[in-house]
Amino acid sequence: MMKALTENRGRQMNRALRWATLLFAGFIVVTQQVYTYGPLVAYDKEINSQPKPQFKGLAGFILLRLDDLGARWLTSTVLLIAAAFIAYKFKTKRPLILAAISLLLLHLIVGAVKLLLGRTKPRDGFDLLHAGGMSYPSGHASNVVLSWGLIAYLIYRYAKVDRYQGRLASTGVVLISVVVCGVSLIRHTHWFSDLLGGLFVGSALLVTIIATDRYVPSKSQLH
């Protein structure tokens, strides 16, 4: 029985790691396109040149608050608070460890690439590398996928929710990601490729963290 369970966990982890590898490969491809000014960068300029709706007053305020859903200060804070609450309630340090590792890896990888490429933002009026910019990859896109995704996963793993509710939570993460990326395009804070690269790296890290956690489960987990 134990051997079969271990083998099943191993298969799950291998499958998840294959997905993580594909997502990291996607991130590398997008990075290569940005670095070499490939066809994707031409698509960036085409998207950025399209007329964008102007939001002022209350609509502008709401737009900014939606943008905050991907802000590092908000996503990191909410993730750590949620992880701490789950850790306290179920008397296990696992959620806090997962949250800390995921945030550390995300900030190291995204921060390093931002510094190395130094890409300018669309609102600067030009697209240059090594110009002191911090546009690629999008921190908002990577934050929203990893942080909200990990929160949904921790709730599913430790709380009494069924698979249907788990799928609803996953759908919610996708919708938040789409909204945040859409707002970034409207506000000219990121190129399309910035957002695509951020989604790839954030998703890859999320899948890797989940795969590792499922392979070495905690006794406090319900799923």
List pLDDT tens digits, range 92-123.
899 999 999 999 999 999 999 999 999 999 99
Rounded to whole angstroms, the Cα distance separating 211 from 223 reads 13
Rounded Cα–Cα distance for residues 210 and 119 (Å): 31
Average pLDDT, the chain: 89
Structure tokens at 67: 């943008």
The tens digit of pLDDT for each residue in 190-211 reads 999 999 999 999 999 999 999 8
Cβ-based neighbours of 51, under 8 Å, separated by 6 or more: none
Confidence of residue 13 (pLDDT cuts 50, 70, 90): confident
Handedness of CA 160, 165, 170, 176 (dihedral sign): negative
Which has more pLDDT, 164 or 220? 164
Say whether pLDDT at 222 is over 70: no
Burial of 113 (0-12, 13-18, 19+ CB in 10 A): buried
pTM: 0.90
182: confidence class by pLDDT, cuts 50, 70, 90: very high
